[in-house]
Chains A and B, each alone.
Chain A
Amino acid sequence: MEPVIELDGLEVCFGGRPILKKLKAALTGRSIGLLGPNGAGKSTLLSTLLGFYKPSSGTARVFGRDVRTHAREVRGLIGYMPENDAFIAGMSGVRFVRLMAELAGLPREQALERAHESFFYVGLGEVRYRALGTYSLGMKQSAKLAQAIAHGPKLLFLDEPTNGLDPPARSRMIQLIREIRDRGDLRLILSSHLLRDVEECCDEVLILKDGNIAAFCNLEEERRANRRFLEIETRGENNGDFLAALERRGCETAPGAQGRIKLVMPDGLEVRQIYEIAAAQNVQLRRLNHKRDSLEDIFLKAMEAADGRL
């Protein structure tokens, strides 16, 4: 799969202080999460990809185009929803989105049509003629999403899209993002410090800490791998025959205290067959869990590493 973003020793310094430190990665996912605590460099990375900041050394490529030398072309591919408020207070919502679509290169008529469509799509159809300055926080967030998608970008940057939203508004925003992602017409990068947002919307995660890449993982693969990893608890501790039977069927086992056994199942073996083996060995299973290495585990592990690297 063609990488969406390639970071090639990317370093960004402000006033001589490195903010992004020699980042190196190739992001290929359909929806990529940028995770990290406040000040980790998430927004700086997005701003650098947009050409707002010049790399001090190294470079980055978006769909193979260098952000240093092809900044205009790169920006033509991107829809950007910034973290903070971004609007012109006296302008009506639909006129603002139309202006932004025209600046992205859409002809007048198409820009107007798509501005209306975007507003309906994000659920602001009824208020599209109101001045943006009068919108509530949730409406402003949706208007920002509308302007980011109006020109039909190939890559969508969402910087903290659920910031300040109440739970129903957050669910609506997440649902919209997932809908856009599932249509498959564009790739998206979601920057957030909220694990849940990233977990719900992304299939690849880049975790930043102090300007370094602390972890980079494919959530889909993690989820698939975790499905084969079980933790079971049996009654009593004398499980020797049961363990031997499991190993004969290709399982890797690790017995623990109080009848607990961790096991990795081979391909082809189903959970139902574990019950059958236990019944054959006269072992009573008290508990069986799919052990899941959640995004939270991954994030916490990354944060524990002293220098920000795993």
Chain B
Amino acid sequence: MAVYKKTYRPYEGALTGPLARLLVIPRYAFEDLHRSKFLSTFFIATLIYPLICALIIYVQHNASALQLLNVQNARGLISINVTFFLSLMGWQSVMALFMASFVGPGQVSPDLANNGLSLYLARPFSRVEYVIGKMSILAILMSLMTWIPGLLLFLLQGYLEGWNWMADNARIASGIFFGSWIWIALLSLLALALSAWVKWKPAAGALMFVLFFVTSAFGATINAVQRTHWGNLASVSYMVGSIWVQLFEGANKTTNGAVFFRSPMGEEVPLWYCWAGLAAIALICLYMLARKIRGAEVVR
């Protein structure tokens, strides 16, 4: 910049639209995340499991590869079915939980720490847009880890197996997409709400794990002590698992979820309780965010 420009001058050029402004937040966040070697490595590592799955699908449909491996009945060894895709989703969703715990706590708290938020909101930028902008950081990252590889694998399997298989298993594709988005929305809201209320990042990250693992243990304890199934409602992973199984299989349940997200057969609670439980968590998170995301504090 030329030194002679040391004077104030008004801006008379074109302005960007609301969507471009919204995308400014994730762009800056991704620049920051890209600088972290740990997060970049972790993100790449999360793609290993989908790559292994792609390899399995490929090998299973490649006769020469099977002969090379001297395997006679590989198709019976690993079936590409609901359980296969649910396992992929379960594993990738646990990775998404780790990613949200690493990235989420650093999103809102730095803006609140020194009142930077008032400057965001003093611009043509609303509180809702701020929250959506921050959520989109996590949503983009977790999408790249969950439903995008899931649907790509589904397409690969459909391509190799034939279009009939795709048509017969369309429910798996919708389960991958909607099931992932339920998990992404829940994690994003929780991560942002905790980031807004807990300023110390490690504590906010740890709380994410507490919410998922400790509540599961708590639910199991209630079940064991009270000899009931209603303790499952205290477990976020159970509720998510139940909804996933419903999305993947409908009423004809053949599996009990996968990895950490299991709803064992015979221990079910009505599905709408699970939906209501997740909705309640989302509403609490939104309330927590609404209390903190303000241009100025109201001193009553």
Contact = CB atoms under 8 A, between A and B. Distances in A.
Per CB-CB distance, the 8 closest pairs between chain A and chain B, nearest first, are A152-B11, A52-B295, A105-B15, A15-B300, A80-B122, A76-B124, A185-B10, A52-B296
A36 interface: no
Interface string A91-123: 000010001101111110010011011001100
Contacts of B294: 52
Interface in B7-54: 7-16, 21, 24, 28
Given A80-B118, A87-B115, A183-B8, 13 more contacts: A15-B300, A72-B126, A76-B15, A87-B114, A88-B116, A102-B21, A103-B21, A103-B120, A104-B123, A117-B1, A121-B7, A149-B8, A186-B10
A90 interface: yes
B24 A86 contact: no
Contacts of A14: 298-300
A50 to B, nearest CB: 5
A250 to B, nearest CB: 45
A85 interface: yes
Interface of A: 14-15, 17, 43, 47, 50-53, 72-73, 75-76, 78, 80, 82, 84-90, 95, 99-100, 102-107, 110, 113-114, 116-117, 120-121, 125, 133, 147, 149, 151-152, 179-180, 183, 185-186
Contact of A86 (B8, B13, B115, B298): B115
A109 to B, nearest CB: 10
Contacts of A116: 1
Interface of B: 1, 3, 5-16, 21, 24, 28, 110-111, 113-116, 118-126, 294-296, 298-300
| Residue with the highest number of chain B CB atoms closer than 10 Å, among A50, A73, A100, A105 | A105
Contact of B123 (A15, A17, A100, A113): A100
Contacts of B28: 95, 99
Nearest to B117: A86
Contacts of A87: 114-116
Given A52-B295, A106-B15, A113-B1, A152 B118 contact: no
Contact of A50 (B12, B114, B126, B295): B295
Nearest to A46: B296
Nearest to B17: A105
B180 to A, nearest CB: 30
Contact of B24 (A72, A75, A103): A103
27 contacts: A17-B300, A43-B296, A47-B295, A47-B296, A50-B121, A50-B295, A52-B121, A72-B126, A75-B125, A76-B15, A76-B123, A78-B122, A86-B118, A86-B119, A88-B110, A88-B111, A89-B110, A89-B113, A99-B28, A102-B16, A102-B24, A106-B11, A106-B15, A110-B11, A110-B13, A120-B3, A121-B6
